Amino acid sequence: MRLTFVVRQCLLVLVCTLTLSAEIRADESGVTPLSESDYITFISPSPMDNWFWGKTAQFAGQVAEDLGIRLEVLAGNNERFTMLDLGQKALQREHPPRALIVGYFFTITEKLLDLSRQKKIPIFLVNTRVSARDQKWLGEPRSERYPNWLGHMYPDDVAAGYVVAQELLQRARQVWPNKKKYELLAVNGALDSMAARDREDGLNQFLSEHSEQLELKHLLHTNWLWDGVVERVPTMLERYPSLQLVWSASDLMAMATRSVAKNAPLLYAGIDWSDAGLQAVREHQLEISLGGHFTEVGWITILLFDYFNGVDFAPLLGLTIKSPMSLASSDNVDRVMQKVSPDYWTTVDFSRYSRSLHPEQDRYHFFEYFLSD
């Protein structure tokens, strides 16, 4: 049975006396546990009908429910200034959230960091990394400038781009074992996206290590949308008729490419674990998809819960946390599809990943959620 809020808080009183001295405790840091009236706010950049952010919010809501705390979700409209307005209004409430979870947007997030510092409300950044250029003036979490910026979690997109190329080459060897070199088309998102840049860096790293086996014929930058791909890819297929592989920075772009190359003997792979992408893996239309990063807000909710209850995540995870993506292939896609299902989440007690509730755990193991039963 899941513990009630009152029972959890009683347990936490005991837990705080048992945690290691290296960890920050409530009585030492001035941080107090969450009360029944407290809540955490997550600002989604997109409406809840967006498949990724809707699933992100739903998963985080289930985690919060299991922890016995309140998570408020404010949904934006894909406009960064809406994000600013939502964040400012939340922070200026008479009863503001105990913490704010929000993505990084140029100039916008800096204003929210400034306001949250004034209000002494912790903020945790999610999903998007800060560019090297912006990092110079923004600084790092818990710096003198932004001591209330508790941490930053975003997916390891460089590794994701690398793994997609790696898996494609491995499958190409199985399909065409006598071929010495394979030709690849890369379909990436717009370069104003840090995810696109990082995924491309991972691709280029793999290409440099396997130049004798893999040749990049063209790197196509698109707007991440289906129409943008289908308008431009046919020209690429006509120009490079001997292609074998299509590396894509998203499931959607991989499937869009496949839709205009139905008769071409190509292998496709993508990133994101969209429902359609996972179904395409199941039906052998995509070789693999990488994903699982929609869980980040849920994991951050656990880290904030522990932080407010006297167990700081920083000694174990650091302040900037790269979340790994997991691989879905024909071998495990049915299990992955089960684990990304909201119906399945209700059967899991996510409080088991909290170190303040489980001080016997010497590390955070929630990144293994998709690897274990």
Rounded distance between C-alpha atoms, residue 153 and residue 173, angstroms:
35
φ and ψ at residue 224, rounded to 5 degrees = 75, -5
The upper half-sphere exposure of residue 86, i.e. CA atoms within 13 Å in the direction of its Cβ, equals 24
Q: What percentage of the chain reaches a pLDDT higher than 90?
A: 84
Low-confidence ranges of the chain (pLDDT < 70): 1-30, 372-373
State residue 10's pLDDT score: 45
pTM: 0.90
Q: How far is CA 372 from CA 62, 106, 108, 303, 349, in A?
A: 19, 37, 38, 20, 14
φ and ψ at residue 223, rounded to 5 degrees = -95, 20
**Plot region of 93 (φ>0 → left; ψ -120 to 50 → alpha; else → beta):** beta
State residue 62's pLDDT score: 98
State residue 372's pLDDT score: 67
Tokens of 124: 């945790």
φ and ψ at residue 184, rounded to 5 degrees = -130, 140
Instruction: Report yes or no: 197 and 152 within 8 Å, Cβ to Cβ.
Output: no
Please give the CATH topology (third level) of the domain spanning 5-155+293-325+342-361.
Answer: Rossmann fold (3.40.50)
The upper half-sphere exposure of residue 269, i.e. CA atoms within 13 Å in the direction of its Cβ, equals 29
Please give the CATH topology (third level) of the domain spanning 157-291.
Answer: Rossmann fold (3.40.50)
φ and ψ at residue 264, rounded to 5 degrees = -85, 135
Which ranges of 20-152 does DSSP label H, i.e. alpha helix? 26-29, 51-67, 80-91, 108-119, 132-138
Q: What are the residue boundaries of the structural domains of the chain, listed by start?
A: 5-155+293-325+342-361, 157-291
State residue 191's pLDDT score: 84
Tokens of 341: 């299902």
